[in-house]
Amino acid sequence: MTRSTNDQPQRGDKGSNKARSRTVRERISAAFETITGQRPAMWIRAPGRVNLIGEHTDYNDGFVLPMAIDRSVWIALSFDRPDDKTVTLHSIDFDETDEFSVDRMDRSDRLERIEQNQTSWIDYARGVAWALGEAGHEIGGFRGVVGGDVPIGAGLSSSAAIELAVARALVAAVDGPWDPTVMARLAQRAEREWVGMNCGIMDQLVCAAGQRDRALLIDCRSLAAEPVPIPSELAVVVLDTARRRELVNSAFGERRAQCERAASTMGVATLRDVDLADVEAHAADLDPEIYRRARHVVTENQRVVRAADALRANDARELGRLMDESHTSLRDDYEVSCRELDIMVELACGHDRCHGARLTGAGFGGCAVALFERRSAGPAADEVVASYRRATGLDARSYICQAARGAAVVEE
């Protein structure tokens, strides 16, 4: 995972986004030259993501509507050891260096650390190298420096960003082919089997396959991803509560198990295979808590499809209404919100320039996402954040995000 390197509030105009990106790259480049004595031969960028709607549906084979964002993980690298399968990677965010051989990845030691709940930033890189090697992909070593501006623990998927950045670098080292969907699957495997987080596919897929000015309507069963234009007059604003997520792994596992129990009771493979009428028909057979979990997933899938329709029709009011409903369902049926998220969402929804808001990510802290009118998004977001700080005493931030492309080699 990556630590935010410049978390001052951003107005979201393209100029400030580019300036922030330059600052991150300048720090990485300086560190690279200090460590290696040379300039980078290549740059890799992989974005974070924000999910507009569709929470806790991906591991139920459902639908999601995320977008890759212009906050990213960057790697500066060189391939000056062409026959060497060693990766030497320095993180400027953690001021740590690690080295490993991509053709000698041993998972046995990692399994013991998973049991002890021990994970560090390098485990995401090592896990990706292991997953690509296990799948038979040719990969190579490199020397690199990594850093980024995706806040940790905020629900913006800093973990998927570093996974896809490392995957892109490993493939680039041998000038190999890049298939975003294949690499997303392998990054997901790395997070599940090496890191120990039994995640869905959404984060890795949108970080790999994101498009500029588009959200992706993803079918998490087929992995079909349909680009959906984001109207230029709308601004997607991330509102960081400054409450970092706690107990996410255990709560995430519990929710996933509850969904599996609900599906089993209804005689289907996943909750993707039922509608609300089916859930209601089995209400007496389900524990009340499990019934609520199933109701959230089924209704959330419906909201995602309708939200994509609303975006295509440039219907901000309908999209905002669906976002509001999503937060209520996540708060009451899925029970993954918290006081800080509820306050932030309530304040955003109470602003006359906001169309709708909801928590984004796994929940239990992190960020909300809100839809504002672009022409007034900066001042409006500042007002919401100021009200939140007065209400909670927490140093919240707002980020106005542009939809960005997925992981790629970037020209100087």
> Which of 60, 14, 340 shows the shortest CA–CA distance to 218?
60
Say how far apart CA 107 and CA 102 lie, in whole Å.
12
Q: What angle do CA 372, 373, 376 make, to 5 degrees?
A: 100
Say how far apart CA 185 and CA 208 lie, in whole Å.
10
Specify the 3-state DSSP secondary structure of 362: coil
Say how far apart CA 128 and CA 170 lie, in whole Å.
9
Relative to beta strand 214-219, strand 63-78 is antiparallel
Which residues make Cβ contacts (< 8 Å) with residue 36, sequence separation at least 6? 78, 80, 143
CA 250 to chain centre: 19
Residue 203 known to be catalytic = yes
Task: Report yes or no: 132 and 139 within 8 Å, Cβ to Cβ.
Answer: yes
Q: Is 407 exposed, middle or buried (0-12, 13-18, 19+ CB in 10 A)?
A: buried
Distances (CA, A) of 301 to 219, 232, 276, 307: 10, 25, 10, 10
Which of the residues 203, 240, 324, 333 is marked catalytic? 203
- Per DSSP, 403 falls in state B
Across 93-180, where does the E strand assignment appear?
96-101, 142-148
Among all residues, which ones are annotated catalytic? 203
